[in-house]
Amino acid sequence: MSEEVQITIIGGGVIGCAVAYELSGKYNQNIAVIEKNNQINGENQSSRNSGVIHSGVYYPKNNGPFKAGLCVEGNEMLYRFCVRHNIPHKKTGKLIVATDSLEEEYLKDTHATAEDNGIPGIEMLDGSEIARFEPNIRAISALYVPTSGIVEPTSLVNKLFRLAESNGVMFLVGSEVVEIKPEVEGFEVKVKSKTGIESFKTAMLINAAGLYSDDIARLTNPESPYRMDPFKGEWGKFYKTGRKEISMNGFNVYPVPLGYLPDGEKLKLPFKEFQEKFSQGEINKSTGVHLSPTFEIKGNEYIIGDTVIVGPSYSEPVNREDYRQTREENYYLDMVRPFFPGLKLEDISLHQTGIRAKLKDHYDFVIERDPKYPDFINLVGIDSPGLTASLAIAKYVKELLEG
Ligand SMILES: Cc1cc2nc3c(=O)[nH]c(=O)nc-3n(C[C@H](O)[C@H](O)[C@H](O)COP(=O)(O)OP(=O)(O)OC[C@H]3O[C@@H](n4cnc5c(N)ncnc54)[C@H](O)[C@@H]3O)c2cc1C
């Protein structure tokens, strides 16, 4: 590590790697990424997600302008990037389904948000039209969203890493940032690794530390207001070839986004009551437990296989390292039975867990210069749809740096 680094990025998940790639090559400066894991493979949020390329239908512009704008922009950028760099992906399309008249009210709200966010090609379907898309899905209406898809997330992280590295970015793995001292110009950064503690100076810092981004923000500026309130997502899975009642054509199929209590339990409130409680921060809103196709390796290639994931679950706030599985197969069955009645308990097995970098009392991504130390850029609370938005977030960071 040279004594003076121009730009230091803390965290080598999809966000840190996307920012490193965006800045590399365009700046003739030295850039370093400091990552506490021993390799760059998206070990935390960046691989433990649904791999869904979101379209931007969920995020109202008034309470989530970054999520709304960067998801839509990131969706297009990600498809272009995946085609150009041969990353396993597919524009599968998505159905958001309503199974009764109350859910239809929630669906209308999602439709309105989707229109407001300018999502192309969306269409309302009735029950018989849904069967043309996915014959085993039962619902009275659905919003069809053609720009939704899936990506193999680890391949995405790895490609961004390799491209940034070949453009000259230095990646320091097995290295945890433990102290940041703002100086008259720039920062002194202390890093702990197997060989001990080293320090170096950097002119500019970018905080892309995922679940620990609130801690990193406070290491630099103790007055930083952001607090992580992380919660767990767990998935089950089944094989769509198991029986004809559970065969699927390969769309992402989502319930309508409902309210969730802070302890993770799903609520089905009258829509007005839901809106009031959500706007007062009493309940959370989640995209819900959905069905999505996944990639698997066949020979040397990723292909979309027969496995369909069912998840992620919602939970009360958890410890950031607690990846234990707590949900059982019947949870997934209960969650999807209203719209996927052919599924049986014996079809389901448990899959993986992930932890979301959700912020307490703050819905949107935080992407800003620290008010006290403007050469410190915070990317805090980058939860879903952060994978989809990653390239757009990186572009926004570059624009922020350029003033
Ligand atoms: C359950 C779940 C489902 C999701 N589903 C989707 C989806 O379908 N579609 C979508 O678009 N998004 C989804 N997301 C969101 C998406 O995965 C995240 O927004 C994205 O991966 C965030 O990337 P990141 O780089 O900020 O975080 P991370 O991948 O967590 O990376 C942060 C990195 O910082 C490192 N780090 C932390 N502290 C330090 C330190 N002190 N020093 C050095 N390094 C440090 C960590 O080791 C880690 O590698 C989902 C997330 C979860 C958890």
Count CB atoms within 10 A of the CB of residue 321.
Answer: 10
CATH number of the domain at 4-46+155-227+363-401, please?
Answer: 3.50.50.60
* Rounded Cα–Cα distance for residues 80 and 150 (Å): 13
CA 292 to centroid of ligand 1, rounded, Å? 20
Tell me the pLDDT band of 343, cut-offs 50, 70 and 90. Answer: very high
CA 249 to centroid of ligand 1, rounded, Å? 29
Q: So what's the pLDDT on residue 1?
A: 59
Per CATH, the architecture of 94-146+231-356 is what?
2-Layer Sandwich (3.30)
Q: So what's the pLDDT on residue 3?
A: 62
How large is the average pLDDT for residues 316-343? 96
Ligand 1 pocket mutation, candidates 41, 44, 89, criterion most atoms within 8 A of CB? 44
State if residue 165 touches ligand 1 by the CB under 6 angstroms criterion. Answer: no
User: Per-residue pLDDT tens for 219-248?
Assistant: 999 999 999 999 999 999 999 999 999 999
Nearest ligand 1 atom to alpha carbon 191 = 42
- Token pair, residue 210, equals 């995922």
Q: So what's the pLDDT on residue 2?
A: 52
Contact in structure between 113 and 271 (CB atoms under 8 Å): no
Domain ranges of the chain: 4-46+155-227+363-401, 94-146+231-356
Mean pLDDT over each residue of the chain, to the nearest integer: 95
Residue with token string 């979309």: 304
Q: So what's the pLDDT on residue 90?
A: 98
Residues 6+ away with beta carbon under 8 Å from 154? 41, 42, 46, 47
Q: So what's the pLDDT on residue 232?
A: 95
* Rounded Cα–Cα distance for residues 95 and 76 (Å): 19
State if residue 49 touches ligand 1 by the CB under 6 angstroms criterion. Answer: yes
* Rounded Cα–Cα distance for residues 292 and 178 (Å): 38
CA 210 to centroid of ligand 1, rounded, Å? 5
Contact in structure between 34 and 40 (CB atoms under 8 Å): no
Q: So what's the pLDDT on residue 279?
A: 83
Tell me the pLDDT band of 55, cut-offs 50, 70 and 90. Answer: very high
Angle at the Cα of 199 from the Cα atoms of 1 and 188, rounded to 5 degrees? 110
CA 383 to centroid of ligand 1, rounded, Å? 7
